[in-house]
Structure 1
């Protein structure tokens, strides 16, 4: 009997532990799905990646680029993601670098001319084994340094010349560098939305750049990883995930033609609230300042339709003995006036019709003589 009880307790405990584990796993999966990021590296092969096999391979679950004294690269070389161009997106990955310089290319393009076919230009999220450039926005074959570390910049063009305008300082470059691990894994986060680019390393904003250079800025392009020319080096990338920004419109199974929007109809006032229409001499002035003087426009309307339109160009007081008015604190006098006839001819008939309707509603019907004679 005691053995059966112990066996039952063990089974219950194992079941509870398994349930908790499955629930935790499902919760993590749900969070990842809600996050909206898609893995673009399987951790085992270079499927959907294109780079020179002399330099690129998969080691220890990471895309690895390596040069040696016996196997140098003559120029910067890249491994290109074959998933198509990226526009607005967020990219997250981990990197580790030993020696040299590297970077993450985005919204980039293949360089023309004679090369190995893996030469890329465009925006770069830079990083290095040194202490200066990790986190900056660099333009590979594309305008050079666009935002140094710890700065917020705007890229502009004045007088036909490209300029980098510093907006403000976000942080101290040395303090940012102190958060970056040497020859160890670091988290890189790139956000590109519109022409606003933000780089983060280990959760710290390293650069904030807005590209207002309409002549050269890029809204989309290739994604690639860099192996820099120079002394022997090794760079590795893992856990590469991308989230494309911007919602896709839902496509209906049934398509209907889009109908043109109808104009809004004016709201008709109640008969009793109309009162008397303005007399022929009543106007309401709208005043606006324009070059060369101040323009007023007087409009009388009925049911949303203009009855009279008056234009007047006015300026500051002259020696003429005319009644002044005020615009922006300055006394002004009318020096020229024009008058245009609108729908005024409708005013009298409409006024009479409304008054007749109003009287008919409010006054009781009078009895005729014949009605008065009846008992």
Structure 2
């Protein structure tokens, strides 16, 4: 009886520890294939899985998170992933976005992923064309780093390796058609996450992608 109680207690502790560790986070990538994601295949073969990570290469395309039921969308949430950009590479993480067959996603914001050597001065950790990190990327090329995005109401925070790089609140009455050139959809509503394939010379890797809704 004592042994049975001990095993039961240990099992309960393990379950509690697992719950505490996960703390509401949902895994978005199984490390094997692109289940739960859908590419628009604007440039075929831009997204693949190699050695347990998502590889982005080959050309412009976007990989949209659909989730297990095909209808994933979020309002207030936290997102985290490990990212590695190779020299001269550009990519991005779209938030509050929606499926689009071609072109740069029109809905939502882009959280920039851009290496030290790419010609675009808007670097990793910025909110593209809204609150940019200019000229100098906060991390080097060829190294894994932590990318964290938090959207709570109208407040967007981006952190790289635990350091805040963007802290921005969408103003009351925000009109992106007036505030931004050719970006009328840059507004917080609700939507999914999308990974950007930028150009044929860019190679970027993603792994350990998780999301958690904020009530």
TM bin, normalised by shorter chain, reads 0.7 to 0.9
Alignment counterpart, residue 36 of structure 1, candidates 10, 18, 24:
24
The equivalent of 2:57 in structure 1 is 66
Question: What is the CA–CA distance in structure 2 between the aligned matches of 1:200 and 1:82, rounded to whole Å?
Answer: 24
Matches within 5 A, 1:210-249: 210-212=169-171, 213-216=173-176, 217-229=187-199, 231-246=200-215
Question: What is the CA–CA distance in structure 1 between the aligned matches of 2:48 and 2:115, rounded to whole Å?
Answer: 20
The equivalent of 2:89 in structure 1 is 100
The equivalent of 2:181 in structure 1 is none
* Cα drift, residue 118 of structure 1: 6.8
- Provide TM-score, normalisation by structure 1: 0.45
* Cα drift, residue 227 of structure 1: 1.0
The equivalent of 1:182 in structure 2 is 141
The alignment status of 1:147 with 2:131, answered yes or no, reads: yes
The equivalent of 2:73 in structure 1 is 85
Question: What is the CA–CA distance in structure 2 between the aligned matches of 1:40 and 1:89, rounded to whole Å?
Answer: 13
Seen in structure 2, the aligned counterparts of structure 1 residues 48 and 215 have a Cα distance that, compared at 3 Å, is: same
Seen in structure 2, the aligned counterparts of structure 1 residues 23 and 129 have a Cα distance that, compared at 3 Å, is: farther
- Provide TM-score, normalisation by structure 2: 0.75
The alignment status of 1:126 with 2:99, answered yes or no, reads: no
Structure 2 residue ranges without an equivalent (≥5): 1-9, 177-186
* SS class of match (1:36): coil
CA displacement, residues 118-152 of structure 1 (integer Å, 9 cap, x when unaligned): 742331111212265110001xxxxxx100239xx
* SS class of match (2:54): strand
* Cα drift, residue 30 of structure 1: 2.9
Question: What is the CA–CA distance in structure 1 between the aligned matches of 2:201 and 2:14, rounded to whole Å?
Answer: 42
Seen in structure 2, the aligned counterparts of structure 1 residues 200 and 233 have a Cα distance that, compared at 3 Å, is: same
Seen in structure 2, the aligned counterparts of structure 1 residues 207 and 49 have a Cα distance that, compared at 3 Å, is: same
Contact 1:194 1:219 in 2 (8 A): no
* Cα drift, residue 214 of structure 1: 3.3
Question: What is the CA–CA distance in structure 2 between the aligned matches of 1:239 and 1:22, rounded to whole Å?
Answer: 26
Question: What is the CA–CA distance in structure 2 between the aligned matches of 1:38 and 1:220, rounded to whole Å?
Answer: 18
* Cα drift, residue 105 of structure 1: 0.5
Question: What is the CA–CA distance in structure 2 between the aligned matches of 1:63 and 1:118, rounded to whole Å?
Answer: 21
Structure of greater relative contact order (alpha carbons < 8 Å, 6+ residues apart): 2
The structure whose Rg is larger is 1
CA displacement, residues 186-217 of structure 1 (integer Å, 9 cap, x when unaligned): 10000001111000000000001111143342
- Aligned CA-pair RMSD: 2.8
CA displacement, residues 73-123 of structure 1 (integer Å, 9 cap, x when unaligned): 3xx321000132211100011111113211110011345xxxx54742331
* SS class of match (2:130): strand
The equivalent of 1:137 in structure 2 is 127
Structure 1 residue ranges without an equivalent (≥5): 1-20, 68-72, 139-144, 151-172, 247-375
CA displacement, residues 166-197 of structure 1 (integer Å, 9 cap, x when unaligned): xxxxxxx86x72xx242111100000011110
Matches within 5 A, 1:252-291: none
Structure with the largest fraction of helix: 1
CA displacement, residues 261-288 of structure 1 (integer Å, 9 cap, x when unaligned): xxxxxxxxxxxxxxxxxxxxxxxxxxxx
The equivalent of 1:57 in structure 2 is 48
The equivalent of 1:204 in structure 2 is 163
Seen in structure 2, the aligned counterparts of structure 1 residues 128 and 22 have a Cα distance that, compared at 3 Å, is: farther
